[in-house]
Amino acid sequence: MKNLKRQWKFIVVLIAGAVGLISQFALHSKSLFSIGNLQFPVHAIIIDIIGILMAISLLLEIFHDWKTGRYGVDILAVIAVVSTILIGDVSAEWMILVMMTGGETLEDYATGQANKELRALLDKTPRIANKLVDGKITEVKVDDLQVGDTVLIKPGQQVPVDGQIVKGTSSFDQSSLTGESVPVTKNPGDELMSGSVNGDVAVEMKVTKAAKDSEYQSIVALVKSSQAQPAKFVKMADRYAIPFTVISLIIGGVAWAVSGDATRFAEVMVVASPCPLLIAAPVALVSGMSSMSAHHIIVKSGPTLEKLARAKTFAFDKTGTLTENQLIVDQVVTDDKSFDQKELQSLAASVEQQSSHVIASSLVKATDKDLIHPVTNLKETTAQGVEGDVDGKHVKVGKLSFVAPGHEKLNVTSTAVYVSVDGKFAGYITLKDKMRPESPKTIERLRRQGAEDIMMLTGDHKQVAEKVAKEAGITDVRSELLPSQKIQAIKDVPKHLRPVVITGDGVNDAPSLTAADVGIAMGAKGATAASESADAVIMVNDISKVNDAVAISKHTMKVANIDVLTAIGVVIIIELIAFTGVIPAFWGAILQEVVDMITISLGLLAKTKPSDKQFGLEEK
């Protein structure tokens, strides 16, 4: 709506200029009326009315800004318009109005160009689904699908909501969700994420999540959230607003005093119009947010970029962030010479193969399929373990107190499952978090990008946390923390080591993400409390995207600063030239429009690739 209002202002100014020009020639510059020696030509009256209305509109905006504590540079635009009205330079007045409204329209265009990736994501949102009812296909709105409904997904179609395949096998392109370019084959029983695209074979899917809770729709919701919180880059513009305004008024005032001609003051004020200063930073920020989106990072607001660019402390959760939230077998320790390590793992995995517990599934996944044998007389004891018969042996797997009472003094600090065979303790299997392969490199690159402190905040045991931290290259380890203690750890970071950025993925991370200066959520596996609380969300399962976020932010802020300072420098140079009287007000206004174009072009450079140094790929 705001963009439409700006466009209409621009159109009205153009129409007013055209009508005024026609009336000037049609009426041969005749005055509509006169007061004493003052003449009021038709075209001048039309332009003056538009100019007064625009000035009033700007004054209202300035008044609103002042009430909120902002002191911008719009006052210079009002002075420029009023000055040209008072000296009767209609051409210059109209050109200033074109410059003001045209600059806003150009800014909207630049914002639109920078937002193309975000719009493309919104345009691809699934809207219609093929629901199967008694074997017949019925087209329904995606929002009307209910959990348990059966949906037919034809070749080339998007998966409308999250679900599970019940019939058919096909490959699915998940690149828009995970960033993986290679299609993934899905079979009956496999989960499908909304937004993925079906390959060559039609499949039937049972809906497991409503549209509002599904993967792709959660991403779209995050994008809409980022659009609802536009880049409010008022800090940089306001930082220069007062000195720029004062300098411009001094140059204009001295020019008037030296020349004795008020026209000279108006000529300086025309070129002092602040459009370039107001446009520079927002265009750069929106471009930076767009670049983030192209790298599968959703940033919810502009100030997040500024904080990321200045960040000095980075904190990470352990499980699901530095690690893959998947356990792998670390050690197999036997206590009975009757069994070797391979056989002990084989027996344990065979008994655990039907359990849904994360430790059981991890053990089974880490065991060769040829070593997993059928199990009979399976029995599970809640929160204790499982037991069953494998190859004629009765095997128990689980807690030590369940498997082998009397061995409680055995001290194992890692995550472990214990095994007994035919009532005799046989040994134990330890498991550890699987480190993300990119985690150590991410930490190393963050240091190259300027991080002064990197710490791990986790609720896990000290020994486990320190082992993971050492592998990742982190020396500052805070373990066995409750969510409230994580928040306190963030608050305790001294001022000279701020801003603080924390990255996490779980529900228990949400309070920490909110407490930090910048919270980054690993949101690749769906909408969580973490992603809702975060300032930025990484939409692919890749922690190195934190490096990308920092690099893009640094590049964006560098472009924004250069753009603002360039705009100020160029405008002041033109003001000094106008001081001499060699630039008429009309041509001063045209020069301002040229500066606007240069400013927007520079701002769009934020979409270009950051340097290797900003990515942390070069040694300091």
Helix-strand-coil percent breakdown of the chain, rounded to 5?
55, 20, 25
Q: Residues 224-281: pLDDT tens digits?
A: 554 454 444 445 556 677 788 888 889 988 988 998 888 888 888 878 766 667 677 7
Q: Is the dihedral of CA 304, 307, 310, 316 positive or negative?
A: negative
**Which helix (H) or strand (E) covers residue 101, if one does?**
helix 90-114
Determine the Cα–Cα distance for residues 191 and 400; give it in Å rounded to an integer. 35
**78 secondary structure, DSSP code:** H
Beta bridge partners of 172: 184, 198
pLDDT of residue 609: 83
pLDDT of residue 500: 94
Q: In what order do the strands lie in the sheet with 313-316?
A: 297-299, 536-538, 518-522, 500-504, 313-316, 453-457, 476-478
User: Which sequence positions are flagged as catalytic?
Assistant: 317
pLDDT of residue 620: 54
Q: Residues 472-530: pLDDT tens digits?
A: 999 999 988 877 788 889 989 999 999 999 998 765 566 778 788 998 988 765 444 45
Using CB atoms within 10 Å of the CB of residue 619, give its burial: 0 to 12 exposed, 13 to 18 middle, 19+ buried: exposed
Q: Which of 103, 119, 96 is nearest to 47 (CA)?
A: 96
pLDDT of residue 529: 47
Q: Is the dihedral of CA 261, 265, 268, 273 positive or negative?
A: negative
pLDDT of residue 587: 79
List the alpha helices (DSSP H) in 366-496.
Answer: 400-403, 439-448, 462-472, 483-491
Q: In what order do the strands lie in the sheet with 393-398?
A: 323-334, 424-435, 415-421, 393-398, 385-390, 376-381
Q: In what order do the strands lie in the sheet with 170-173?
A: 184-186, 170-173, 197-198
Low-confidence ranges of the chain (pLDDT < 70): 1-6, 13, 17, 19-44, 46, 58, 62, 65-74, 91-93, 95-96, 98-100, 102-124, 175-182, 215, 218-239, 273-276, 278, 325, 356, 383, 506-510, 524-533, 618-620
Determine the Cα–Cα distance for residues 607 and 286; give it in Å rounded to an integer. 9
- Per the structure block, which two tokens stand in for 347? 């027996």
Q: Residues 72-99: pLDDT tens digits?
A: 556 777 777 777 777 777 766 676 676 6
pLDDT of residue 232: 44
Helix axes 585-603, 275-294, angle to 10 degrees: 20
pLDDT of residue 427: 92
pLDDT of residue 463: 82
165-170: long-range contacts at Cβ-Cβ below 8 A with a sequence spacing of 24 or more? 165/189, 165/190, 165/192, 165/203, 165/204, 165/205, 166/204, 166/205, 166/206, 167/203, 167/204, 168/201, 168/202, 168/203, 168/204, 169/201, 169/203, 170/198, 170/199, 170/200, 170/201, 170/202, 170/203
